[in-house]
Amino acid sequence: MPRAAFRSRTRLKWLISESLDVKLMSERLAQKEKVMKTLRFLPILAVAVLFAGTARAQEQAPTVEVSAGYTFIHLNVGSGTIITPDLAGVSGARLNGASLSGLAALSGADPTVTSNIHGGSASLAYNFNNWFGMAADFGGSKISSINASGFPSVDVDSTLFTYLFGPRISYRTKTLTPFGQVLFGGAHITDVTSGGVTVARSENAFAMTAGGGLDWNVHKNIAIRVVQVEYLLTRFTDPFSVTGSSGTQNNLRVSAGIVFKLGTK
């Protein structure tokens, strides 16, 4: 065989071999890329499987949950310079048994004004599945005194109402059901009176809560709401504002009561 033909044939074999190697390498790279794409989805798949397993492990949710109970609210009215009229001439008004003219002494002071109030609340929750539901919450609490730091408490008469709606997330076991929720809605406060004298008019305002609670399942259809603790925000008129603009009141709401469970999911 001539040397030139031999070289040509050898080169052709080398080119074919290189071509096959490149093709094989491309196939391997493509296969590796497919494997890597699959691996990217493994964490998502693992979380989905874990979540599905957790959901199946939970106790079956009732269709509807109805609760009622006691509510305590610590109202944080605010702090700032108090501007009050001289009420010395108002007859019948009392400040802890003394004349309401004591309010005049608060003018120019910078106390923090709070009130601890007591009442009740009721809620209705519809569960779409074992862990997610929508809740409606209604409450009413009596305001009997206002406390200004450094001064005697002022006897008043008023009522605070709240009406709130929003999502609730629950984790259900045979014995306990912890839950968290964020609710939005409104609040209404009736006329604030002291000794028969109206010192603040009724008002409606935006309100919201964020928090959670713990239910103790004592029966298939009954639970004890051991505790429910929430941040309660209201947007009533700022009593320290000269222009009467709205303020933000950062309050605390604590509840306990009984829960009735109706139907099954």
What is the domain-level CATH number for residue 126? Answer: 2.40.160.20
pLDDT at 10: 59
Do 78 and 50 share a structural domain?
Answer: no
Do 242 and 206 share a structural domain?
Answer: yes
Give me the torsion for CA of 90, 205, 75, 139, rounded to 10°: 110
> What's the rounded Cα separation, in Å, for the pair 215 and 66?
12
Do 132 and 236 share a structural domain?
Answer: yes
When pLDDT is averaged across residues 163-182 and rounded to a whole number, the result is 97
State how many domains the chain has.
2
Do 163 and 74 share a structural domain?
Answer: yes
Do 137 and 11 share a structural domain?
Answer: no
Do 37 and 100 share a structural domain?
Answer: no
**Element housing 196 (H / E):** none
More confident of the two residues 196 and 26:
196
DSSP string, 49-101: HHHHHHHHHSPPPPSEEEEEEEEEEEEEEEES-------TT-TT-EETTEEGG
Do 40 and 144 share a structural domain?
Answer: no
> What's the rounded Cα separation, in Å, for the pair 163 and 205?
11
pLDDT at 147: 87
What is the pTM for the complete model shown? 0.71
Residue 181 — pLDDT band, cuts 50, 70, 90? Answer: very high
Residue 72 — pLDDT band, cuts 50, 70, 90? Answer: very high
Do 253 and 157 share a structural domain?
Answer: yes
User: 232-265 as b/e, with b when 16 or more CB fall inside 10 Å?
Assistant: bbbbbbbbeeeeeeebebebebbbbbebebeeee
Do 233 and 109 share a structural domain?
Answer: yes
**Centroid of chain to Cα 104:** 39
Residue 9 — pLDDT band, cuts 50, 70, 90? Answer: low
More confident of the two residues 81 and 77:
77
Looking at the chain, the whole-number percentage of residues with pLDDT higher than 70 is 65
- Out of 17, 42, 57, pick the residue that ends a domain: 57
When pLDDT is averaged across residues 22-34 and rounded to a whole number, the result is 58
Q: pLDDT tens across 99-128, in order?
A: 344 444 454 556 788 999 999 999 999 999
When pLDDT is averaged across residues 149-175 and rounded to a whole number, the result is 93
Phi, psi torsion values for 64, nearest 5 degrees: -135, 140
Do 72 and 52 share a structural domain?
Answer: no
- Out of 24, 39, 57, pick the residue that ends a domain: 57
Is the confidence at residue 212, as pLDDT, over 90?
yes
Do 135 and 106 share a structural domain?
Answer: yes
pLDDT at 87: 41
Do 93 and 38 share a structural domain?
Answer: no
When pLDDT is averaged across residues 86-97 and rounded to a whole number, the result is 39
Q: Give residue 4's domain range.
A: 1-57
Q: Which two tokens stand for residue 65?
A: 């949950």
